[in-house]
Chains A and B, each alone.
Chain A
Amino acid sequence: MRIGTRIVIFAAVLLTLATVAPRGVPVLSAASPVVTEGQGLLRRLVEGAKKEGQLDLMVVSSVGEKGARELTSAFKRRFGLDIQMNADISGQESQKFNQALAETKSGIPPTFDLMQGEPPVVLMLQRSGGLEPIENWEVLLAEIAPEGYKVKEKVSPKGVAGYGFVWANRISGLLYNPKLIPERDLPKTWKEMGEPKYRGAFSLPPWTTITLMGLIKYDKEAWLEVVKSWGKSKPQILTYDAGTQRMMLGDLKFLEGNDYYYFEQKAKDPNAPIGLTYFQDLTPMREVLYVVRKGTRHPNAAKLFALWASSPEANSIFEKYSYTQNTALGSGPVTQQILKRLKALNIKPVSWFDNPETLEKFLWLGTGEGQEYSRAIARAQREGT
């Protein structure tokens, strides 16, 4: 190398070091290797986490106790931490986010350092100032989960960039009991589900988060009519789990639900009477995001985990226990099977974060007019009027 180039490189390194040095990264000892900015930030986080010594976090209930333990152990191992981790797997995301809202408003330290939920609740808390952003998250992500870094706009989409980090995607599919109804007889579109012949054959969930995603594709009035047609046939209202149980028992023929339930049931019992397909007109997908709470007592550990959750390592554990896919990463076994199916059926899932227009629609739901519309959808889903 020519001397000039060497000098330039050396100066660049010095310059970088100068910017990094005030943050206390011990770089100038003779034997220490050269560290990148990312590594420096990471080390600071790890040191901070060690000092904090604890992390109270939410973990999705479907991983179960065993899964939660494996997850936390893997996390600790990865960063050489020996901290106490209290994982809450009791679910109830919306309830907890509302509680977080109340905590933020009253200015008390939050119950959880780290929470996870779907976009609606995350955005609600963000708007109220209850979330702590991760500074330089891109750099850190590159350190912690390089594969995630490659798809960073999917890992932390616009709208929640820096605040929320995707660890899973939930895609809505059609779960059905092949013993009771062959695939060809299933409704092909959301609209068809409202036809009289399906009366009593399916259940709907009590929430409207998925239903509202119909707005991504359809216009307001038309969609409202579609939802009314479902409600008119007076379906049973059951959560996805309860509905899946009843369907496998033979009480229902099919239901709209999270596609990964198929893999979960099949893994428990290869002969489980359950099949999976997708609606042809619209396949909603919700990102599930980890967020750090503002005012948390253990910010470093929380930030570490949030970023790590979007790594393939974390994803493999999530998939092992709860079969939840991370289609952004696209690496896990369940994810790959799902991606294969989607490809075969030529289906492209859509999400609120796809583009500015969809994000705009989602934010509209939060306005007064939007809330009116939500209530109308809720009534339509519940009563058909």
Chain B
Amino acid sequence: MRARVADTVGTFFSGNMIAYVFAWFICGVIVAVTGLILWMTFVPGLPFDAGLSLSNYREVLGTSHLWRVVLNTFWVGSGTVFVSIFFGVPLGWLLNRTDLPLRSLFITMLAVTVIMPGLVKAMGWIMLLSPQVGIINKLLMELFRLKAAPFDINSIWGIAFIQGLMLTPSMFFLISGPMRSLDPSLEEAAEVVGANRWKTLFWITSPVLWPAILGGVIYIFMTGIAIFEVAGILGGLSENRVLATELFLAVQPFEGSLEIKYGVAGVYGFLIMLPSLVGLFFYFQSIKQAHRYAVITGKGYRPKTFALGRVQLPAMLFVFLFLLLAVFLPFLVLLWASLLPSLRMPSMEALSLVSLRWYEEIHYLVGGMEVIKNTLLLVVTSSVLVLFFSFMVSWVVVRTKLRTRRLLDTIAMLPHAIPGIGFAFALLIIGIMGARWTPWLPFYNTVWIIVVGNILTRMSYATRITNAALLQIQQELEDAALVCGARKWVAMLRVMGPLIRPSLVFAGLWTALLVFREVSVALLLGGPKNKVLATQLWILWRQGNLSEAAALSIVLILIMGLLILLLQKMTGSVGQVRVTPQIGEEKL
């Protein structure tokens, strides 16, 4: 009898049970919050007001320009995908599978670009490609004696271009895993039957990687149609409107009536979500395919590096071009702005005004120790919790035979289809309700509500990484530990832990970076006592203090860059989701 009880208790606390509980918990939260957003779309005023109605839907769907907005959104999404593939796929291949020099450094720089907020990049691009004053335009016009500026950044293509550059690192990191775990003998076999490097690349490597790339494409599309900051900055609030701008506008007192239409915002959120849901479906199809194709021999093969030979120089130039566009140029613009009292085009006159004034005032720009403390708390807690929950979800999805595990995976991806600001609103309502019914629980107006918002929105990417990581580890390694008498959680800790550590570190770091610079959620849920660095930066920007904002940005970028480099040195590598070496025959 006692043995039976002990058995039940043991099973309950067995590794799988723990995973089930936590995985279902977080998915339950996601479903609940999404449900709240959906419910809000049916409420005409605030959620406390009575009555459900379709008035919000009528308002949104009744607008004459909705069709154009949807079309714009589609073009922006496609353009974003195109640009991110154009740069991301070759970069993924060059930096993972070839002998290009300085690969490690380039990968670090890719990760660092994430720190620069989109609005800063957009501002930089205005200075470069605005039809009136863009430097590049002016240069080209002089060189080729053109009458009109060849590039106009204030267009759908401008938005897509900048967003594509912004999301290239995401594409890169999404396909790095599959690229590295590609069985090198597939390519060697092609070589032996007489296909040269390029034929191999075209006929063998690309088709096998395609499902993984497709997964990346869908993910980027979903992200691209939900971003507001770029479209908003590029003056696209009149002509080149996309669904995300509509959502933003619904939240402004634009319509004269001063009550913010949370419901309308929710409807736009769902309009954004619909194509993403369709995309999600295809995403899961394509990764199923990718798994079939993932011929991971697990025999300790290291991916074969492609010798670039004569192509090395063009390849380096390509990488430099990307870094120039995505990193250096915006960074230079930032630097330039930070050294001036206010932003102006480069000129002799401007040079005379250069000073370090804003850097000297950094402690004011930061906003005090409270801000730093809040930010640290936010970033660390969010990353740790995201990692924890992702691991749990991935465990259930990859390792167990639970029938509902596919559903779990889908739910984890769901937040990606909804703009973050939608979650922020839902959490606001939840916060208010919480303040009413459980006032003793610290939530509303604290850092914790922002933490929850970030956890919900970051799960989607983190689970991609932990899924891939767990897939690569043979079940047997863990089973061996169990047979030796170790409990499940000990096996998880001592066997799996070290093997997937690189992936976990990477996922944690990426999450931390994104949480660090996330603004919309932190802003909406911010009050007097939970200010964070991202909102400070945003405040400076919104006040038109671009120079101060630039100075703060530069300092933050340098700090984050250093941290990443440090982390890379400590854990071996950051961007490299390694194929875990198996214990087996070492081929010599």
Contact = CB atoms under 8 A, between A and B. Distances in A.
Interface of A: 56-58, 61-62, 64-66, 69, 86-92, 94-95, 97-99, 101-103, 105-109, 111-112, 120-121, 124, 203-204, 206-209, 212, 234-242, 244-246, 248-251, 261, 265, 268-269, 271-273, 365, 370-371, 373-375, 377-378, 382-383
A271 B233 CA distance: 26
Contacts of B47: 102
Interface in B525-549: 526-529, 531, 535-536, 538-540, 542-546, 548
B65 interface: yes
A108 B544 contact: no
Given A66-B361, A66-B364, A373-B256, A242 B238 contact: no
29 contacts: A56-B528, A61-B543, A64-B364, A65-B364, A65-B536, A66-B364, A98-B258, A102-B48, A102-B428, A105-B46, A106-B48, A107-B436, A112-B528, A124-B259, A206-B237, A206-B249, A206-B252, A207-B252, A208-B255, A234-B239, A237-B237, A241-B543, A245-B123, A246-B235, A249-B343, A269-B342, A374-B255, A375-B257, A382-B254
Contact of B253 (A87, A112, A120): A120
B523 A92 contact: yes
Nearest to A111: B527
Q: Could you say which of A102, A121, A206 has the most chain B C-beta atoms within 10 Å of its C-beta?
A: A102
A201 to B, nearest CB: 10
B258 A249 contact: no
A109 B434 CA distance: 12
B344 A207 contact: no
Nearest to B528: A86
Contacts of A382: 238, 254
B208 interface: no
Question: Which 9 A-B residue pairs are closest in the complex by CB-CB distance?
Answer: A374-B256, A241-B544, A237-B237, A236-B235, A86-B528, A108-B435, A56-B528, A88-B528, A98-B260
Contacts of A250: 132-133, 345
Nearest to A273: B344
Nearest to B59: A375
Contact of B126 (A87, A235, A251): A251
Given A102-B432, A108-B432, A365-B256, A62 B543 contact: yes
B439 interface: yes
Interface in B233-274: 233, 235, 237-239, 249, 251-260
A83 to B, nearest CB: 13
Interface in B20-46: 46
A97 B259 CA distance: 9
Contact of A88 (B253, B361, B526, B545): B526
A107 B435 CA distance: 9
Interface of B: 46-49, 65, 123, 126-127, 130, 132-133, 154, 233, 235, 237-239, 249, 251-260, 341-345, 349, 353, 361, 364-368, 428-429, 432-433, 435-436, 439, 444-445, 523-524, 526-529, 531, 535-536, 538-540, 542-546, 548
B436 A108 contact: yes
B133 A251 contact: yes
Nearest to A377: B256
Contacts of A377: 256
B428 A235 contact: no
Contacts of A378: 254-256
Contacts of B126: 246, 249, 251
Given A106-B433, A206-B237, A251-B126, A95 B260 contact: yes
Given A56-B529, A61-B543, A207 B253 contact: yes
Contacts of B344: 248-249, 272-273
B341 A268 contact: yes
Nearest to B366: A65
A206 B253 CA distance: 9
Given A88-B526, A268-B341, A382-B238, A374 B257 contact: yes
Contacts of B48: 102, 105-106
A238 B233 CA distance: 8
Contact of A101 (B46, B65, B123, B536): B46
B342 A271 contact: no
Contact of B429 (A61, A88, A102, A209): A102
Contacts of B341: 268-269
A61 B536 CA distance: 10
B256 A65 contact: no
A66 B362 CA distance: 11
Given A87-B528, A238-B235, A208 B432 contact: no
A382 B249 CA distance: 11
Given A61-B539, A105-B48, A203-B235, A245 B254 contact: no
Nearest to A375: B255
A91 B531 CA distance: 12
A251 to B, nearest CB: 5
Contacts of A261: 544
A304 to B, nearest CB: 17
Contact of A242 (B252, B258, B523, B544): B544
Nearest to B541: A241
Given A56-B528, A61-B539, 13 more contacts: A64-B540, A95-B260, A102-B47, A103-B435, A108-B439, A208-B255, A212-B256, A236-B237, A245-B123, A249-B133, A271-B349, A272-B342, A382-B254
Given A101-B259, A269-B353, A272-B342, A95 B251 contact: yes
A97 B252 CA distance: 12
A87 B253 CA distance: 24
Contact of B445 (A111, A204, A240, A265): A111
A17 to B, nearest CB: 40
Contacts of A245: 123, 343, 544, 546
Contacts of A208: 253-256
A273 B439 CA distance: 52
B372 to A, nearest CB: 13
Contacts of B546: 245
B532 to A, nearest CB: 10
Contacts of B235: 203, 236-238, 246
Contacts of B133: 249-251
Given A102-B429, A108-B432, A108-B436, A237 B343 contact: no
Nearest to A269: B341
A120 B536 CA distance: 27
B417 to A, nearest CB: 24
**Centre residue among A89, A112, A365, A377 by max chain B CB count within 10 A:** A89
A174 to B, nearest CB: 17
Contacts of B251: 95
Contact of A248 (B260, B342, B439, B540): B342
Nearest to B363: A65
A92 to B, nearest CB: 7
B523 A90 contact: yes
B238 A375 contact: no
Nearest to B524: A95
Nearest to A93: B253
B123 to A, nearest CB: 8
A98 B254 CA distance: 13
A65 B436 contact: no
B461 to A, nearest CB: 27
A95 to B, nearest CB: 7
Contacts of A209: 253
B163 to A, nearest CB: 18
B359 to A, nearest CB: 15
Nearest to B239: A234
A88 B543 contact: no
A241 B542 contact: yes
A36 B127 CA distance: 61
Nearest to A382: B238
B494 to A, nearest CB: 46
Nearest to A271: B349
Given A99-B428, A102-B48, A245-B343, A88 B531 contact: yes
B438 to A, nearest CB: 11
A248 B343 contact: yes
